[in-house]
Amino acid sequence: MADLDSERRADDGIAALRADLVDAGYTAAAVREAWGPLADAAIGAGLPGPARTALEGRADALATACLLFFLGDPLPRKRVDAALPRVGADGLVALGLASTADGVVAPTALIRPQDFADDRGEGEWLIASDLDEAALRGALPTGHVLGVGGASLTLAGLQLPAPVGRVLDVGTGCGIQALRARRAADGVVATDVSERALWFTRVNALLNGVDAIEVRRGSLFEPVAGELFDRVVSNPPFVITPRVAGVPQYEYRDGGMAGDELVASFVRGVGAVLAPGGVAQLLGNWEYRSGAPGLDRVRDWVSSSPVPLDAWVVERELLDPLGYAQLWVRDGGTAPGSTAYEGLVDAWLADFAARGVTAIGFGYVLLRRRMPESAAAPLARYERVTQPVPGPLAPHLAEALDAWDRLAVLDDAALAGATLCVAGDVTEARHHLPGAESPSVIELRQGGGFARVVEVDPALAALVGACDGELPVGVLVDAIAELLEADASALRADLLPRVRELVFTGILQLS
C-alpha cells in the first residue's frame, strides 16, 4: 500500500510539474526565441554563457524554467516557487529532480523540450535526463544518463513507421526511443542495466502522458527471455572502451564487453526475441582488424545467428583509431592538452593495437527475422553510404523492405512483364566533354532516401526515362535494343539485375 501511495504522489507531482511548465510556455520554440539564434548555437556547442546573458534581468516563469531545467542553474527558492506554483521547490525535491539548501534550489536533472515530427504529425516532448557537462562544470559521472543527442535523433528517425504490437527498447537510457516507438506500438518494454535510466524513462513517460511503457532492468535480452516482439530498437552502449584501470566506464555508452562484442552479441541474439517477420534496428560500431573490412565482421555475426535473419547494414562513418580515441575521451569531459587526456588516448590506442584494429566503422543495422515459409533469397546488403541524407530515413527504409519483398516473388520474366515509374524525387544529370555530342557520364540523382547518385549507361538511362507506368519493362528493353542495334536477350540479362537495384533503392517504383 505504501508503494502505491508513493507512486500516486509521484504521478501527481509529475502532473503538477507538467502543468507548471505548460503554463510557463516552456516549449522548444519559446526557448529558442528567449535567448536567440546565437545563444542557441552556442548551447549546441556546449557553451551556455550567451544564453545566461540573454536571460539576465528576466524573472518570468519561462526564463526561470530555462535557467533551472535547460541550463541546470541553481535559483532562489522564492523564484522557483513563484514560477512553478503547483509543484514548487518541495515537490521537485520529493520527485528527486532538485535539492534545496540555504534558500537555493539546485536541479539534479535537466528537463528539456524536444520537438519531433513523424508520419503521424508533429509534437513535442519534455525529456528529463542527468545534468550535462556544462551544468556540472566538469566531467560526467560514470552513471550519467544522457539526454537527447545526435545518435538518439538519428535512431528515432530510422524507426519504421508501420503500426505494430509489441516493441522492445534495449538500453533505453532516458527513454526517448521508447516514447518514439510507442507512437506506432500497442506497448513497449524498455530495458537497461541502469536503475537510474529506468527511473528517467518512467519520469519521461509520465511527463508526456504516455502509457503502456514497461521498464525492466537487465542486460541485452535477459529481461525478456522467452518473449517475442514485433520490433526491437536499440541505441546500445556500443562505444569501444579499453578494459584497463584508469579508463572510466560510462554506463550510457559502454556495455562492459571487449572491443565490438556488445554489438556482435546483440546481432547474434536478437533473432530469439523477434517474432517471425519482426524487425530490429540499432546503431553500432564495428572494428576493422588487420585490414579485414568491418562490414564483413557484421556479416559473420548475422550468419552466426541461430535464427535466420535478413540484414541491411549501412556504414555511415569510418574513423582511424586515433580519431576514435580522441572523440570518446573528449565526450567524457577530459580536455585535450591535459595529462589525463594523453593517458586515456594512449590506453585506447594500445587496446586497438592489441587486436590489430586499423579502423572503426559506425552505422545503422536493420535485421528482420525471416518467415519460416519464405523461399525467397535472404536480404543481405552491406554497404557504405557516407553522403549527407536530406531527412528522416524511416519512410525510405519501409519502402525499400516492401520493394524487396515484392521483387522476391518476381522472376526475370515476371519483372519484364511489370510496369515501373520513376520516383518523383529523381533527376538526371548528363556531363559532356567540351564540344562532345554524347555525354561521357550520365547520373541518376535521388532527392530523398539516401540521396544516392547512380552512374548509368545510355541503355539504362533510356529505360529509366521511359518508365512512366504504361509499358512493361520487357517491351521497353526490346525497343531500346532495336534502337541501339543490340541483342535484346543480352540487353535484358544486363538490365534486369540493375533494374532490381534501382527499385530497391527507390529510384524506380513498381506500379
Per residue, the 3-state secondary structure of 239-294, as one string, reads CCCCCCCCCCCCCCCECCCCCCHHHHHHHHHHHHHEEEEEEEEEEEEEEEECCECH
Q: Which of 114, 147, 178 is the last residue of a domain?
A: 114
Q: Is residue 131 part of a domain?
A: no
CA atoms in the 13 A half-sphere facing the CB of 177: 34
- Both 249 and 152 in one domain: the answer is yes
* Mean of per-residue pLDDT scores for the chain: 94
Q: For residue 378, how far is the Cα from the chain centroid?
A: 24
Residue 37, Cβ neighbours under 10 Å: how many?
A: 9
- Both 142 and 31 in one domain: the answer is no
Q: From edge to edge, which strands make up the β-sheet containing 75-76?
A: 75-76, 104-107, 98-101
Supply the CATH number for residue 463's domain. Answer: 1.10.10
Q: Which of 325, 357, 386 is the last residue of a domain?
A: 386
pLDDT digits (tens, 9 = 90+) for 164-198: 999 999 999 999 999 999 999 999 999 999 999 99
pLDDT digits (tens, 9 = 90+) for 261-309: 999 999 999 999 999 999 999 999 999 999 789 999 999 999 999 999 9
Beta bridge partners of 229: 274
Q: Is residue 104 part of a domain?
A: yes
- Both 362 and 218 in one domain: the answer is yes
DSSP string for 282-339: EEEEEEEETTB-HHHHHHHHHHT-SS-EEEEEEEEEEE-HHHHHHHHHHHTTPPTTSH
Q: Is residue 132 part of a domain?
A: no
- Both 106 and 144 in one domain: the answer is no
- Both 152 and 264 in one domain: the answer is yes
Q: Is residue 422 part of a domain?
A: yes
3-state secondary structure 443-486: EEEECCCCCCEEEECHHHHHHHHHCECCCCHHHHHHHHHHHHCC
| Residue 65 clears pLDDT 90, i.e. is over it | yes
- Both 197 and 337 in one domain: the answer is yes
Distance CA 470, CA 474 (A): 12
Q: Is residue 304 part of a domain?
A: yes
For residues 434-460, give the mean pLDDT. 94
399 or 11, which is more confident? Answer: 399
Quick one: how many helices (H) and strands (E) in the chain?
A: 19, 18
Q: Coil, helix or strand for 398?
A: helix
257 or 2, which is more confident? Answer: 257
Report pLDDT for 169: 98
- Both 169 and 71 in one domain: the answer is no
Supply the CATH number for residue 147's domain. Answer: 3.40.50.150
- Both 382 and 445 in one domain: the answer is no
- Both 434 and 287 in one domain: the answer is no
For residues 320-326, give the mean pLDDT. 96
Distance CA 358, CA 61 (A): 52
Axis crossing angle, helix 2-23 with helix 88-95, rounded to the nearest 10: 130
Q: Which of 353, 386, 419 is the last residue of a domain?
A: 386
Q: Which residue has the cell 578494459?
A: 243
Q: Is residue 275 part of a domain?
A: yes
Domain count, the chain: 3
Q: Which residue has the cell 535484346?
A: 488
- Both 369 and 411 in one domain: the answer is no
Q: 109 lies in which domain range?
A: 2-114
Q: Is residue 71 part of a domain?
A: yes
For residues 424-453, give the mean pLDDT. 94
- Both 229 and 363 in one domain: the answer is yes
| Residue 5 clears pLDDT 60, i.e. is over it | no
**Helix H segments across 337-393?**
339-355
DSSP H or E run through 165:
strand 164-170
Q: Is residue 161 part of a domain?
A: yes
Cα–Cα distances (Å) from 444 to 314, 429, 507, in that order, read: 20, 6, 8
- Both 411 and 375 in one domain: the answer is no
Report pLDDT for 138: 80
For residues 56-64, give the mean pLDDT. 96
